[in-house]
Structure 1
Amino acid sequence: MRISPKATIMSTPLPSTSSDSSKKSSIATLRGLLPFLRPYRQQFILAAIALVIAAGATLAIPYAFRQMIDLGFSKIGDGGTQGIEHVNLTFLALFGVAVILGIATAARFYMVSWIGERVTADIRNAVYAHVVTQSPEFFETTQTGEVLSRLTTDTTLIQAVVGTSISLALRNLLLFVGGLVMLFITSPMLSSIIIVMLILVIAPIILFGRRVRQLSRDSQDRIADASAVAGEILNAMPTVQAYTHERIEAQRFADSVEHAFTTAMRRIRARSLLTMIAILLIFGAIVFVLWLGAHSVMQGEMSGGKLGQFILYASIVAGAIGALSEVMGEAQRAAGATERLIELMSVQSPITNPSLPLRLPSAAKSQVHHGAAVEFEQVTFHYPSRQDTAALANIHLSIKAGETIALVGASGAGKTTLFQLLLRFYDPQQGRICIDGVNIKDLDLHQLRDAIGIVPQDTVIFSANALENIRYGRVNASDEEVMQAAKMAAAHEFIERLPEGYQSFLGERGVRLSGGQKQRIAIARAILKNPRLMLLDEATSALDAESERLVQQALETAMLGRTTLIIAHRLATVKRADKIIVLEHGQIVETGNHAELIAHGGVYAHLASLQFHLN
């Protein structure tokens, strides 16, 4: 049975991660894992059965030793053969107990390890599936390295707890409870004394454990910071090397790692101190009680076998407490990791699907056979990280189906922002955007984005072959359709020249391709998608003159019957547009065709003289 972690976790109230979260117990925080554990009840039951059998076998050993001492050794001392037989039977029984213990322990280890691996995989899938649904607003404030740290380091800590520590905690809890019961059966007086002393020594241990938990959380945060620094540097290696900043960036990472190490050492010191205090106090209490027991034997108040049994059960109880304190340390770390993952999972994207989405009119009903009419109605938008400045202010723009619109303006004028709003990466604070008369907020996000193709200026190439990179535009496309799209984008020829043609691996982020080749791959991807609305963000900026001529011809064919918005800086592209929209400081300042705007002598004419080299 597989869990649907995302659905489950989002339907479960998430624990608060406010400033007082450090005051919660580890157990309370780890409850956030319950949605991932519930689907595996059967495995937990099997592990619990094995756990109970193993604990029972362990608790039977001291009783067997008492029988051997009191009924075996004492009778041997009296010269009888019955004692020898009893010793033989006792050791045979001990071997049988050892067999049961071995089988049950192996079964428990297998089951809990399986649960740990399975739950960790589910958590990683759930977190990743949640992150990829976030809007760009999320990635404005969250570093990729931090997300990767939570997917790897934090989930590994949780795996250790689910796959090992929980089992050890339950095993030692059973031994602790069972050992206490047997201690009271063996000697109520000595057991009462030892319980009172244990209560007195455990209280400070619990209080100190809270400090360990906070330090564990801080340690994980510093590891995430180091991962974020590493990710940033590795993604910008050409720039780093071009500016000869290798040593500087290596030192920056080293400083981050050193900070993480210092924080980890604080946690380790605190945990070591906790372990030392636990052992000294608990074993000190037990030794004192056993000293009392030794005097009881010497005074004839209890038998040697009974004291031996008491000592073994006391050892089991002490060992269980020591193991529980060790597990508590692991639980403290996992609690911090769980808290961080819950924080990540609790982040909700402001861009959501409507509860009852509308559908776009079919292509046959559009004004042109495949195009889409677009309307910006009094749209105002501020980026979340720049609330004081309007990226777009009171934009009103009507685009007919099948029209080609060129967006012109200086950097930061708002051209790319229009694209991002159309794709609903963000929602405007005021106004609305309609496609074929339907507000895009009322559309299913997948249907909206399926209707739009985009060729960004910063082309994204995935670590796959050329065929799959183009097929990203439409995953069910045939090889022939992919190749046809590549031909239309003037990419077929250079792909064929690659060592393995369309099967050639393009390298991480397309490092094996030139800038122009990357852009033609992106254009082929958009053409393959066959959208109703095409967004071209300076799609030919990285092409040489010959490739640009070929791609322009391909784009003219691809744009036929489609609505196309082009962020353009080249005169050839702008002059082909049906309408030119000039943006300045987030506002539309001029509208018209090339000749009209040149004659007007305004912002466009000035930009043309600077960027298009016109007199």
Structure 2
Amino acid sequence: MKCRSLGIALPDVKYFTEAAVAASRIFDRIDRIPEIDGENNKGLVLDNIRGEIEFEHVTFTYPSRPDSIILKDFHLKIEAGKTVALVGASGSGKSTAIALVQRFYDADNGFVRIDGVDIRTLQLKWMREKMGLVSQEHALFGTSIKENIMFGKLDATMDEVVAAAMAANAHNFTRQLPEGYESKVGERGALLSGGQKQRIAIARAIIRNPVVLLLDEATSALDSESETLVQNALDQASMGRTTLVVAHKLSTVRNADLIAVMSGGSIIEIGSHNDLMNRKSGHYAKMAKMQRQFSIDEPEQNPETRLSSSVARSSASRLSTARSSPAIFASPLPYDEPKPVSYPPSFARLLSLNSPEWKQGLIGSISAAVFGSVQPVYAITIGGMIAAFFVQDHDELRARIRTYSMIFSSLTLISLVVNLLQHYNFAYMGEQLTKRIRLRMLEKILTFEAAWFDDEENSSGALCSRLSNEASLLKSLVADRLSLIIQTTSAVTLAMVLGLLVAWKIALVMIAVQPLTILCFYTRKVLLSSITTNFVKAQNQSTQIAVEAVINHRIVTSFGSIGKVMQLFNEAQEEPRKEARKKSWLAGLGMGSAQCLTFMTWALDFWYGGKLVDMGQISAGDVFKTFFILVSTGKVIAEAGSMTSDLAKGSTAIASVFEILDRKSLLSVPNQVTNISIPLCNGTGGAKLEKLTGGIELKKVDFAYPSRPESLILRQFCLEVKPGTSIGLVGRSGCGKSTVIGLIERFYDVLRGSVKVDGVDIRELDLGWYRRHMALVSQEPVIYSGSIRDNIVFGKLDASENEVVEAARAANAHEFISSLKDGYKTECGERGVQLSGGQKQRIAIARAIIRNPTILLLDEATSALDVHSEQVVQEALDMMMAGRTTIVVAHRLNTVKKLDSIAVVAEGKVVERGTYSQLKSKRGAFFSLATLQSN
């Protein structure tokens, strides 16, 4: 009996092995002692921090690129309460200096001091509490606006939150949202515009009331009006504080007490704005001159009058919008949202995905069936062995024992062979299924419309968790559980047949009580299935929180928010955990009942068998044979019952996988919305024009994001762009400029109206074919893990090496790429973390250039570039625009100066349109924007 119990337990040893491997990795991370521990309470705490910062002959290289020196003999002193700006070309080391102040890294040589104390001796958590950071990348979390601001001060009151938002010019757009400060921002702020995200990040820093304020391109994503207001707010916030500013736009740093010009990791010039401008041949003066030449002409009007009048008009318009909002919210919007479909788990469909491995499936199934039959044969042999001892003739006893011993030996060999065949073939099927499911799921996910990803349940963390965990569960279901089911079915069938043949009366009784045991196991499966669904949902939600925390780890550590992240992580799992505790009791009762019924069955078997022997209807040997045969049935049912939790998880995973695979993208099926009267070439999923010239027309478009259907972004929006011409969209943040780009790309479909290309509604066109004629450079450059060359080639997969280099040259990226040790093979890191903002943007532009598109979409394409790079890249873009339909979204009006026309967008409509000179002479909305920017 001990050996039998051991045999039951042995198959589960693999789980201990897998757990040991996982535990080893987990404990390696837990036990790792970081070189720079932000939560360590050791170190000096100064009684009074003034905020004096000093870099003393600092040399620094990133650990991932030890051969590339970022800072070289960097020396800078910032007096307490003063503002110092760092300017220079992208990649010169400006943002690195800020990272060293916050001690994200330690200098290779030299010292970084605060109030004369080496920061390596200070308590890091305390030091960071005295600092406020606004980085070039906004780093928002997928919670509410209020919670994002409160990351700066966890115990802040609502009044403090509102005051910080007002100071950052974020209050007005926030209160217009249906849920106000409780509005969700989406994953990494996906539901907000770039300027709105930046203003929330600034509010997060302001609410902290820091001694040291660090601004890394804090206003890079703001429109002219917001930039002026926020810059004033930052100037106020900087008063009495030590402030270190990184900026490309020199107008944002002209009021700094000291400006340091960086090049090649060193300071080559330092002084006030006036001092540096007086050095006619100096680098700063050249940069300023270049920026003036590249900027707009300054309108002739008193700056104070211009600013006050513009702000007044803007405030009035926002108040008007806010007042009119209830009427907008009250009107229902015609969203045809598909009702969620519940997909029942289909094991047959899952197996159909394994059809290419039918040979392995056949061999594995036969092997599993043979191995299943080993158990009842073994049982009847044991019963026969016991019955043999009732024989009186010693020769017959020896003969029977010899026969049964030979059977045992044969079963050993058979078990070894069929086990090997069974597990190898099913494991092969499982691996192929995992690969196939992950590929199909990822391919399908990438076809879905953008609105699907706006749902919290479809965040990147949740989807990555599903791709990883659910595919593994299905692999286990096929590789382990399917083979066990076949094995169990074979064993039970043969056991019942043999039992009925040996002693049918006692066999019928034993078989009759088996359903009770099975019922207990089934009840346990149902309970576990509902528990599993809740746990999967909680796991996806908590995974998303972890993903965002890791991605934004600099902000988390900078603001000392690890405790807040852990709180959110724990709260995401609390409710399912409580429910699971209740249902676990029921699951335990189900398992216990099954075991109880098993022993009661044994008692019934022996009692009834004894009665039959006493009546002379069967022999004692037949009782033992039947008992062992049908007890083996209970054993295999118990083994099958032990996998009910896996079946429960597998059922949930099957439903989840096919929910994705069966889902039809709302953008993939062409809608019959217009009559097409021009020649078309039919293609899968829609029509293909014989030639795309690039004429674009948006006609009476109404649009609201599906996640906020009551807030209209575009209202009766009309815009026409002739083929081969360029148009700029300007206006303040949140007015709908980037939304227009999203509609042209058909990331979303309009609520009312139409978007047409060459007179054809884009909903009629083959989406893949249509997008192959477009290139997009977005406000936030998307860089993938991989080499620089890989990222550029994304624009044209079959591009030659010469094409890659030429595209990089045109985007002013070739020079910095060539200076890297590995050149075009240099790894970019996750989301391009190894590159500066300007370098990432230039790679994104090179990716668009290599595509050679008919329609070019530029959404703040030069926002992260320094003056020199902006000029060179703008010239490259100007050349690229020739003969192409180009739509440019910009806050800096100098980037749209040479375009064929400019459209001013306000409150979801085009309020002015014309050339640069025409709009300037009108002294209307465009004139106000130009006035603010020149100021």
Q: Is the shorter-chain TM-score for this pair beyond 0.5, marking a shared fold?
A: yes
- Measured in 1, the distance between the counterparts of 2:341 and 2:700 equals 39
Match of 2:887 in 1: 565
Q: Which amino acid aligns with 1:51?
A: A
Deviation at 1:515, TM superposition (A): 1.0
Partner of 1:369: none
Alignment of 1:447 with 2:773, yes or no, is: no
What displacement does 1:29 show? 4.7
Match of 1:42 in 2: 359
* Candidates 467, 492, 496, aligned match of 2:789: 467
Residue in structure 2 matched with residue 64 of structure 1 by the alignment: 381
Shift of 1:482: 0.6
Q: Report the more deviating stretch, 563-572 or 132-141.
A: 563-572
Matches within 5 A, 1:126-137: 126-137=440-451
Aligned-partner residue type, residue 386 of structure 1: R
* Counterpart Cα distance in 2 of 1:109 and 1:491: 53
Determine if the alignment matches structure 1 residue 311 to structure 2 residue 627.
Answer: yes
| 1:381 equivalenced with 2:698 (yes/no) | no
CA contact (8 A) 1:161 1:330 kept: yes
Output aligned runs, 1:203-352, within 5 Å: 203=519, 205-256=521-572, 268-294=584-610, 296-297=612-613, 300-352=616-668
Q: For residues 459 and 423 of structure 1, what CA distance do their matches in structure 2 show?
A: 17
Which residue of the partner structure matches residue 169 of structure 2?
none
What's the offset of the Cα at 1:181?
A: 2.1
My pick for the range that moved more, 56-65 or 86-95, is 56-65
2:225 aligned partner? none
What's the offset of the Cα at 1:469?
1.1
| 2:369 maps to 1:52 | yes
SS at match of 1:583: strand
Displacement of 1:431? 2.5
From the superposition, tell whether residues 288 and 476 of structure 1 become closer, same or farther in structure 2 (CA, over 3 Å): same
SS at 1:464's partner residue? coil
SS at match of 1:358: strand
Q: Quote the offset at 1:176 in angstroms.
A: 1.7
3-state DSSP of counterpart to 1:359: strand
Ranges in structure 1 where 5+ consecutive residues have no aligned partner: 1-14, 367-371
Whether 1:497 aligns to 2:819 is yes
3-state SS of the aligned residue for 1:352? coil
- Change in CA separation of 1:574 and 1:209 when aligned onto 2, cut-off 3 Å: closer
Q: Secondary structure at the match of 2:738?
A: helix
- Return the alpha-carbon distance in structure 2 between the equivalents of residues 495 and 16 of structure 1: 48
Check if 1:178 corresponds to 2:494: yes
Kindly provide the CA deviation profile for residues 552-607 of structure 1, in whole angstroms up to 9, marking residues without a partner as x. 22112111222211112223222211111011111111011222222222211112
Q: Distance in 2 between matches of 1:105 and 1:415?
A: 64
Query: Aligned partners of 1:65, 1:208: CA distance in 2, in Å?
Result: 32
Between the aligned partners of 2:650 and 2:505, the Cα distance in structure 1 is 39
Amino acid at match of 1:487: R
Equivalent residue, structure 1, for 2:463: 147
Measure the CA separation in 1 of the matches of 2:876 and 2:905: 27
SS of the residue 2:850 aligns to? helix
Find the counterpart in structure 2 of residue 519 from structure 1: 841
Q: Distance in 1 between matches of 2:904 and 2:608?
A: 94
Counterpart selection for 2:918 from 596, 605, 608: 596
Q: Which moved more, 1:441-450 or 1:486-495?
A: 441-450
1:81 aligned to which of 385, 395, 410: 395
**Aligned counterpart for 1:431 among listed residues 749, 753, 762:** 753
- The one-letter code of the counterpart of 2:377 is A
- Is the CA contact (8 Å cut-off) linking 1:453 and 1:526 kept in structure 2? yes
C-alpha separation in 1, matches of 2:771 and 2:504: 74
Q: Does 1:538 align with 2:841?
A: no
The one-character-per-residue Cα deviations of 1:511-540 (angstroms, maximum 9, x if unpaired) are 111111111111111111111111111211
Q: For 2:912, what is the secondary structure of its paired residue?
A: strand
Structure 2's unaligned 5+ residue stretches are 1-338, 671-681
- Pick from 420, 435, 449: which aligns with 1:106? 420
The CA RMSD measured in Å over matched residues stands at 2.5
Could you tell me whether the CA contact under 8 Å between 1:186 and 1:306 is conserved in 2?
A: yes
User: 1:466-485, aligned counterparts within 5 Å?
Assistant: 466-485=788-807
Separation (CA, whole Å) in 1 of partners of 2:512 and 2:495 = 16
2:322 alignment counterpart: none
**Alpha-carbon distance in structure 2 between the residues aligned to 1:344 and 1:49:** 33
Q: 2:738 pairs with 413, 416, 439, which one?
A: 416
Q: How does 1:11-26 map to 2 (within 5 A)?
A: 18=342
Alpha-carbon distance change, 358 to 216 in structure 1, aligned in 2, over 3 angstroms: closer
Counterpart of 1:458, as a letter, is E
Tell me, yes or no, if the aligned pair for 2:700 and 2:752 is still in contact at 8 Å.
yes
In 2, Cα distance between equivalents of 1:287 and 1:158: 39
What secondary structure is seen at the aligned counterpart in 2 of 1:81?
helix
CA offsets 1:25-81 (integer angstroms, 9 cap, x no match):
xxx5544524324444333222222122223333222333444444x5445x43x43
- CA shift for structure 1 position 279: 1.2
**Cα distance in 1 for residues equivalent to 2:817 and 2:528:** 57
Contact in 1 for aligned 2:379/2:632 (Cα 8 Å): no
Q: Given that residues 380 and 626 in structure 2 are in contact (C-alpha distance below 8 angstroms), is that contact kept between their aligned partners in structure 1?
A: no
Query: Which residue of the partner structure matches residue 93 of structure 1?
Result: 407
Measured after TM superposition, the shift of residue 415 of structure 1 is 0.8
Higher normalized strand content (fraction of residues): 2
- In 2, the alpha carbon distance for the partners of 1:422 and 1:64 equals 76
Is the contact made by 1:415 and 1:567 (CA closer than 8 Å) also made in structure 2?
A: yes
CA distance in structure 2 between the partners assigned to 1:580 and 1:538 by the alignment: 15
Mapped partners of 1:296, 1:606: distance in 2: 105
Counterpart position of 1:138 = 452
Query: Post-superposition shift, 1:379?
Result: 2.4
1:295 Cα deviation after fit: 5.0
| Separation in 1, partners of 2:766, 2:738 | 22
1:167 matches 2:483: yes
- 254-263 or 206-215, which deviates more: 254-263
Match 2:929 to one of 604, 607, 611: 607
Do 2:736 and 2:907's aligned partners in 1 also have CA atoms closer than 8 Å? Answer: yes
Instruction: Note if 1:124 corresponds to 2:441.
Output: no
Q: Is the 8 A contact 2:810 2:876 kept in 1?
A: yes
Larger mean CA deviation between 377-386 and 543-552 belongs to 377-386
Q: Distance in 2 between matches of 1:556 and 1:199?
A: 78
SS in 1 for 2:708: coil
Q: Note if contact 2:514-2:634 (Cα within 8 Å) is conserved in structure 1.
A: no
User: Residue 57 of structure 1 contacts residue 98 of structure 1 at CA under 8 Å; is this kept in 2?
Assistant: no
What SS does the aligned partner of 1:576 have? coil
TM-score, length basis structure 1 = 0.88
One-letter amino acid of the structure 1 residue matched with residue 369 of structure 2 = V
| Percent identity between the two aligned chains | 30
The structure with the largest helix share of the pair is 1
What is the identity, as a one-letter code, of the residue corresponding to 1:446? Answer: G
Counterparts of 1:152 and 1:56 in 2: how far apart (Å)?
A: 36
State the match for 1:585 in structure 2. Answer: 907
Query: Structure 1 pair 148/235, CA: closer, same or farther in 2 (3 Å)?
Result: same
Cα distance between partner residues in 2 of 1:519 and 1:69: 82
Higher mean C-alpha deviation, range 484-493 or range 351-360? 351-360
Kindly indicate whether the alpha-carbon contact (under 8 Å) linking 1:233 and 1:249 is maintained by their aligned counterparts in 2. Answer: yes
The equivalent residue for 1:7 is: none
